[in-house]
Amino acid sequence: MQSDSNALFARGTRLRRVATGLTATALGLICAGAQASPAAQTSGYDANAGLSSSAPSSATHTLAPAAPHGVRGLAVRLVSQTLATTPRNAADAPHPPKPPAVVDPVLDPLMRGILERLAISEAVARTKYSSGKPVQDTPREQALLDSMGDRAAQYGLTPAQARTFFRLQIEAGKLVQTALLARWKREGGAPGEPVDLATRLRPALDRLGASLMHDLGRLCALPDGPLRMARIHQARERIAKAAKLEALQRAAFDEATSGLCLSAPPRIWTLSVRR
How remote is the C-alpha of 137 from its chain's centroid? 39
Contacts of 193 (CB under 8 A, 6+ apart): 126
Domain annotation covers residue 58: yes
Residue 272 lies in a domain: no
What pLDDT sits at residue 141?
96
Give the count of domains, the chain: 2
Average pLDDT of the segment spanning 97-104: 64
Q: What is the mean pLDDT of the chain?
A: 75
Angle between helices 70-84 and 2-36 (to 10 degrees): 60
Same domain flag for 184 and 120: yes
Residue 97 lies in a domain: no
Q: Are 197 and 127 in contact (CB under 8 A)?
A: yes
Same domain? For 72 and 112 the reply is no
Structural domain includes residue 102: no
- Give the pLDDT of residue 59: 39
- Reported as a single tens digit per residue, the pLDDT across 140-150 is 999 999 999 99
Tell me which residue range forms the domain holding 24: 2-84
Banded pLDDT at 212 (limits 50, 70, 90): very high
Together in a domain, 117 and 252: yes
Residue 275 lies inside a defined structural domain of this protein: no
Same domain, 148 and 210: yes
**Whether 147 and 230 share a structural domain:** yes
Query: In this structure, which amino acid lies at residue 175?
Result: L
Q: Is the pLDDT of residue 273 over 70?
A: no
Cα distance between residue 3 and residue 133, in whole Å? 109
CA distance 252 to 114: 10
In terms of domains, do 72 and 120 share one?
Answer: no
HEC readout, the chain: CHHHHHHHHHHHHHHHHHHHHHHHHHHHHHHHHHHHCHHHHCCCEECCCEECCCCCCCHHHHHCCCCCCHHHHHHHHHHHHHHHCCCCCCCCCCCCCCCCCCCCCCHHHHHHHHHHHHHHHHHHHHHHHHHCCCCCCHHHHHHHHHHHHHHHHHHCCCHHHHHHHHHHHHHHHHHHHHHHHHHHHHHCCCCCCCCCHHHHHHHHHHHHHHHHHHHHHHHHCCCCCHHHHHHHHHHHHHHHHHHCCCHHHHHHHHHHCCCCCCCCCCCCCCCCCCC
pLDDT band at 267 (very low <50, low <70, confident <90, very high): low
